[in-house]
Structure 1
């Protein structure tokens, strides 16, 4: 029997998982928010469906026929998780022990004033986005327990990768070095997200929670300075967080200060991070930028 993955939200992270599984012979389908983005999914071999604005997926019964695995990356809103709001019954009808992966966030832990958290730490979200994620995780695990589905949650740190990283921020002229004393962020390369999800598919564990981050929580200004060094550009001047002009959204990212521990993905899933630090990730991304700029499409 051919494995079949359905992605609710075929975005940056889920799309890489989908492409990897397609290369292994899986059937893959997924949703996008608008019909004009369907061609991009088709180009990746993903059967597209539209899911947005409170409207259910058309022909959902057909979409879920034969599905063995479900990956969810759509964020919850003020009225809860959009997938469960519109398709709880459809998912409940999936075969027993169907694998469901929910892409959550380390924001569920809230602020620890620079302290460490692991998967057993209390969930103390600071803002409404974190609180929504806690509620969504609970709802997904409840679905799994009630209907014998193999639900696991992946709590992702700050995501970066090709086209979405500090090098691109510097190259675009948008880089700033905001300094809040003691502040650190955890990060994760999108390839290592895919690596972790695939490891979970190989070793499913109903009810499991996994922190997905690298080994090197670091101050954000250091990441920008390192990217500038790689590009041979002088770093922007440091700005004091207390007086910096930031949008409410940008400022909200500084509410939480913690070091996220990732030992469980290594112990239980055997994950070997390809990019265990932001330096390793940015070095590889720079190599990719340089290859593209010289027209070299070789390599692995």
Structure 2
């Protein structure tokens, strides 16, 4: 079984290793020869792909793939993979699963209400509008080609080396207080687990929310991280959009509670870290 990962970044790297452990032959793309060499030394087969020129080895890998994960950020021209490899994916004879990593940002603001995959998407930022257009383009490719395309809408990603504890240690954590504001999160191990569960049960046109069980105020996560590591939490700061970057202000302008019930029910996946509490305790114990 051959898996190609287009965009072997943080989250996709955890998936690659989990898939290898399940017996998949994994090939991932990176943007630089330096990163390719480093990951190869760690046991991952890599190819350099900058989103433009498609090398012969990459074209061959796509043609032979049983599954492809797309984890590449859009650029000003849209989705580099759709633009550069869309037709090759549509023609790949063995391909039985295409996964696209998207974001719950496409839902926009829902005033803190619980929503699922059937909720209206009403993005406000240019970036989120573009992501929704790309979601729809991937699903359209699936319909046109007959390939099972699944879209995974990820919430805030964290895990080893990227979490509230590491932010505290680096001095970059803050406790910005906006009453009623909550965010969803997902640990990278659960991203990998959900993707593996989908590989076992492909469904053409599926859209899944990839998130934990408990949307929570961001300051609560920082406070627990401080308690677990014996550090002093940063002071609470009242929310003031005028003091934030446009991206941060946009981020705090959206409030929703995103349900993962479809993943639990359809993919039969049980979260390893159902909330940030279990995850932070594990990360603190491991020194990560």
Q: Give the TM-score band, short-chain normalised.
A: over 0.9
Match of 1:73 in 2: 71
Match of 2:265 in 1: 267
What pairs with 1:1-300 in structure 2 (closer than 5 Å)?
3-52=1-50, 54-59=51-56, 60-95=58-93, 98-242=96-240, 245-289=243-287
Distance 2:48 2:241 in 1: 43
Distance 1:28 1:45 in 2: 10
Gaps of 5+ in 2: none
TM-score by length of 1: 0.92
Is the partner of 1:253 in helix, strand or coil?
helix
CA contact 2:3–2:65 (8 Å) conserved in 1: yes
Is the partner of 1:270 in helix, strand or coil?
coil
TM-score by length of 2: 0.96
The root-mean-square deviation of aligned C-alpha atoms, in Å, is 1.5
Is the partner of 2:157 in helix, strand or coil?
strand
Distance 1:56 1:91 in 2: 15
Shift of 1:97: 5.5
Is the partner of 2:243 in helix, strand or coil?
coil
Q: Residues 1-44 of structure 1: CA distance to partner in whole angstroms, max 9, x if unpaired?
A: xx000011011111111111112222111111212110232134
CA contact 1:97–1:148 (8 Å) conserved in 2: no
Count of matched residue positions in the alignment of Structure 1 and Structure 2: 287
Distance 1:41 1:145 in 2: 34
Shift of 1:252: 2.6
Is the partner of 2:249 in helix, strand or coil?
helix
CA contact 1:19–1:44 (8 Å) conserved in 2: no
